[in-house]
Structure 1
């Protein structure tokens, strides 16, 4: 019975360890260039301006992800069907949103993307300017009565080491 249990545990361990391999994205199919060199050049130019939705920092021309291969294939199909470059971009934006383009259009929905960084810089500069213009508060000098009370307090205090305190490194 213990051999069967050990065998089942070993089998379960192998399944757990191999499950990430099965969860990986399949490799992209090899690209098939268009027959027309002009159309292929248009497709390659579009590949450079379209962001991979998986990699996010790479164009689909550079991405090895399967979805990037699908996007390349889709662009080639649309170009072969006679679509203009703008029509291809519009279709990709319709499918994946403005983020799919490295330079999304300027419109109400993308104002934060386009103007947000400049607004933050201006806000920081305004804060620095406000801090620089702030007047320093001068502490008024002590009155003669306050100076006398302070002198009395300092004279009455015993200054020096505390006899109950021990040295930090006294060897104990």
Structure 2
């Protein structure tokens, strides 16, 4: 598996992953009714951000986006989001994407990374982020409508770089 910068010809494969994850409604606070154009605008980061793909040969296994969490005085903290194709889960794709995002943030001079909205029900992601040194610094209660569990909290997770 290699991780490389997103190029425009990756969009059809990335769009399929993003649409699949958003349609499931159990991990990302994105609106499943958003058209493809909006999904692209939300997912593909403009500089100084970055969007990447995890590849196995010519197959896109997953994607990540990263950049500043806030502009101006808040620009010293980065953020990132990750999506993995359903048939690629359990193969270390999410971990590889997260490690790549952390390395990128360090090289860009960020002091920390923060995830703003990790569904507490997304136990696989929460476990991974904890193993990578993130801590839950707060939880917004009952702020995510999980399709099976009802309203669950959204964690804010942080780590220094």
TM-score past 0.5 threshold: no
Q: Which has the higher strand share?
A: 2
Higher relative contact order (CA 8 A, sep 6+): 2
Q: Which has the higher helix share?
A: 1
TM-score, with length taken from structure 1: 0.23
Structure number with greater Rg is: 1
TM-score, with length taken from structure 2: 0.24
